[in-house]
Structure 1
Amino acid sequence: MSSLCPFAKGAIGVGGVCPMKSSEKNKESNNNNTNKEGKEEKHVEEQKIGPATIPAKCPYGYDSETFKLGPLSCMICQALLYDSSKCMPCAHKFCKVCISRFRDCPLCGADIEKIEPDTDLQATVDQFIDGHARIKRTQSSSDKGEETVDAQGKVIYEDVSMERGAFLVQQAMRAFRSRNIESAKSRLGLCAEDIREQLKVTEDSEELCSQLGAVLGMLGDCCRSMGDADSAIKYYEESAEFLSKLPKKDLEVVHTLSVSLNKVGDLQYYAGDLQSARNYYARSLEVRRQAVKEHLNASSQVIDLATSLAKVADVDRNLGEENTAIDGFKEAVECLESLKLDSSEAALEKKRRSVLDFLQNQLTENSSHVSSSPA
């Protein structure tokens, strides 16, 4: 991933310089004839290299390698500002959700008397997202070089920049970890919108379907954290829909698909709809069974399989199917006991041990229940 301003990629004809930096372009037009020959040679070289490889410093301080955003980032969540606000009287600026948790300014320690929205700063952040972190629509040969605009004169975007996608997802993850869920949801929503637009052009793109499936799953996590179970289920189901279209050779796709199905099952389980929960758990189990068959040496898949067996068995027990539940718990135990991990897989061993302890406790509880039952 380069450290260039993404706007430079769309800056054909301006030597890869950020279009926001128009003053520098004006300076170039006023250069004397002495430097003209050298600049023409440089321009020819830039055309050979391509504008995306020409160093260009974004005036907003964007650096896609380190994701340093300067004045556009919140010191608390370390992500792009969302619902920009300033605490008074010191006027230091943060995301509204972030600063609302404090009584004193985290930067200067001053008492916060009130919090005011900073609409101008938020407008700059929005401009940054729509400009510096986005690539303009690819034009056909008939209108090449012209911006495409809709009826309201707004620029339409088409192609998904991996750099933009990575940027938005990272900002979302930072915000999510800091419990700024609205910010995370907003960034992921933009990313999903980009990918959906591109899928209209390349419907069968496995890469785009994989990306969208992952982003939709994260949107589901945001809704779940916000207590919106219905929206979470909608996103998880749509995530599973896209991921189900893909070949199950990629273990990351398999894992994301099975997790999305399990999360729908979890939400249905806690809502009291046990039969629906079992259906989703069973679908996840089938995906993981197939993955273990195709990837015999993937230890993580064996642990995932045991986890799914445990989930289905737990629901069976709650549905009164005790014998079926015991069979499921025992199969899961056998999977984990036969799994041999080496010293380099300490994290997996910890997870294996945790799931195995749970399963053995379930079997122990059943034995105690049977022994204490009347003859």
Structure 2
Amino acid sequence: MSSLCPFAGAATGGGVCPVKSDKSSAGVCPAKSDKSISGVCPVTGKDHGSEHKESTGHAEDKGTDPRMVPAKCPFGYDSNTFKLGPLSCIICQALLHESSKCKPCAHKFCKACIERFKDCPLCGADIEGIEPDTELQALVDRFIDGHARIKRSHAGGDVEAAGGKNKVIYEDVSMERGAFLVQQAMRAFRAQNIESAKSRLTMCADDIREELKSSEDNLDLCSQLGAVLGMLGDCCRTLGDAPSAITYYEESAEFLSKLPTKDLELVHTLSVSLNKIGDLRYYDGDLQSARNYYARSLDVRRNAVKEHSAVASQVIDLATSLAKVADVDRNLGNRSAAVEGFEEAIQCLQKLKLDSKQANLEQRRVSVLDFLHNQLADK
């Protein structure tokens, strides 16, 4: 799964992207305080209302539209300050998914996480059985719902009536909610709790789809949805559900194809999605379909190199795509085209000069180059 947060470029409120900067190790209570909620953290019981005023209170005093109601999580958390706590699983370090309780010790984990253990990871007691904790899972679900967009009607004199109803203004926290869900999904994915990751990403994708209904040409939303769909494809691929993975990758490519090629991260995500479809077709024995997807990815990377010829990673990506197409050509019996593709890839990498600060890229360049030479030796 990509480490790129699709919400990083549009983070709200000047907050740090929770995917690229995860401060979950800090032992600070994430409680926030507003007029509708007591300043007491529901987890620790500590009052941090004064801290919240110091960190966020000024933003509400300067030029805020009085008709807009700032969106608040009903539990007092936000996506940038959420810490590991009783709503999380200590195994995957993400929000609980299918919360389950060990018997007899009663410690609680995600179902998929605890099923891999014979002894409780917390106390070491033998696990005699596990049972669902529906009350705790309902609490987690309400916590997630608390990050939904909040809507309020106009309160000023410029109310626009439509069918006798006030026009509704949405306080848009979708970026924050989306980044939060992606963060939780990536934690779960890294810990092999794939169903949890898939669940969070599906929520995120549904949120973005809803927004796109009224803003079809919003490039930020298209890029976010494209990245999230690619992650969902990774989840399905890991679960062995190739047809669903292909569907998600294809939809990801559809949205990412609408975007300008200036953002190299998004170009890379698009080409990777196309290559992953090609891989799945290849393993399924459909070589011609695999070649079509590899060729599309190759075209994307050729265009990227034309515009960013000095970016070493793009050149290595181009060589990789050339190798994929050449490999399929060889398997299809077109050996001359295969040799031509391998040789072009070798030339790209031999021309690439890297300095000492690019050791990781140099290692990758040498690895791909060795692979290409071996392919030619086997021709």
TM-score band w.r.t. shorter chain: 0.7 to 0.9
Alignment partner of 2:265 out of 252, 255, 264: 252
TM-score (norm 2): 0.79
Q: Conserved in 2, the CA contact under 8 Å of 1:158 and 1:198? A: no
Alignment partner of 1:285 out of 273, 279, 298: 298
RMSD value, Cα: 3.2
Opposite residue 78 of structure 1, the aligned amino acid is Q
Higher alpha-carbon deviation: 157-166 or 189-198: 157-166
Q: Conserved in 1, the CA contact under 8 Å of 2:71 and 2:173? A: no
TM-score (norm 1): 0.80
C-alpha distance in structure 2 between counterparts of 1:58 and 1:197, whole Å: 20
Alignment partner of 1:241 out of 254, 265, 269: 254
Give the secondary structure class of the aligned counterpart of 2:108: strand
Determine whether 1:95 maps to 2:116: no
1:173: how far off?
Answer: 0.4
Q: Relative to 1, partners in 2 of residues 1:138 and 1:211: Cα closer, same or farther, differing over 3 Å? A: farther
Aligned to 2:47: none
Aligned to 1:370: none
Alignment partner of 1:17 out of 15, 22, 34: 34
Q: Conserved in 1, the CA contact under 8 Å of 2:271 and 2:297? A: yes
Q: Relative to 1, partners in 2 of residues 1:160 and 1:202: Cα closer, same or farther, differing over 3 Å? A: farther
Q: Conserved in 2, the CA contact under 8 Å of 1:18 and 1:58? A: no
1:46: how far off?
Answer: 4.8
Q: Conserved in 1, the CA contact under 8 Å of 2:33 and 2:39? A: no
Aligned to 1:38: none
* Structural mapping, 1:15-164, within 5 Å: 17=34, 19=36, 21=38, 46-48=60-62, 50=64, 60=75, 62=77, 64-131=79-146, 133-137=147-151, 139=153, 141-142=159-160, 159=172, 161-164=174-177
Opposite residue 136 of structure 1, the aligned amino acid is I
Give the secondary structure class of the aligned counterpart of 1:71: coil
Q: Deviations over 1:334-368 (max 9, x none)?
A: 000100111111111111111111000001112xx
Determine whether 1:304 maps to 2:317: yes
* Structural mapping, 1:212-361, within 5 Å: 212-361=225-374
Report which of the two structures shows the higher radius of gyration computed on alpha carbons: 1
1:161: how far off?
Answer: 2.1
C-alpha distance in structure 1 between counterparts of 2:276 and 2:142, whole Å: 35
Give the secondary structure class of the aligned counterpart of 1:72: coil
Determine whether 1:210 maps to 2:216: no
Aligned to 1:40: none
Give the secondary structure class of the aligned counterpart of 1:290: helix
C-alpha distance in structure 2 between counterparts of 1:86 and 1:146, whole Å: 47
Q: Relative to 1, partners in 2 of residues 1:284 and 1:46: Cα closer, same or farther, differing over 3 Å? A: closer
Opposite residue 217 of structure 1, the aligned amino acid is G
C-alpha distance in structure 2 between counterparts of 1:220 and 1:280, whole Å: 15
Q: Conserved in 2, the CA contact under 8 Å of 1:265 and 1:277? A: yes
1:165: how far off?
Answer: 1.0
Q: What is the number of residues matched between the two proteins?
A: 328
1:202: how far off?
Answer: 1.3
1:203: how far off?
Answer: 1.1
Opposite residue 75 of structure 1, the aligned amino acid is I
Q: Deviations over 1:233-286 (max 9, x none)?
A: 000000000011111111111101100000000000000000000000000000
Q: Deviations over 1:304-362 (max 9, x none)?
A: 00000000000000000011100000000000010011111111111111111100000
Aligned to 2:51: none
Higher-helix-fraction structure:
1
The alignment-based identity, stated in percent, is 71
C-alpha distance in structure 2 between counterparts of 1:226 and 1:58, whole Å: 32
C-alpha distance in structure 2 between counterparts of 1:103 and 1:44, whole Å: 51
Q: Relative to 1, partners in 2 of residues 1:44 and 1:215: Cα closer, same or farther, differing over 3 Å? A: closer
Q: Relative to 1, partners in 2 of residues 1:276 and 1:56: Cα closer, same or farther, differing over 3 Å? A: closer
Determine whether 1:190 maps to 2:203: yes
1:48: how far off?
Answer: 3.7
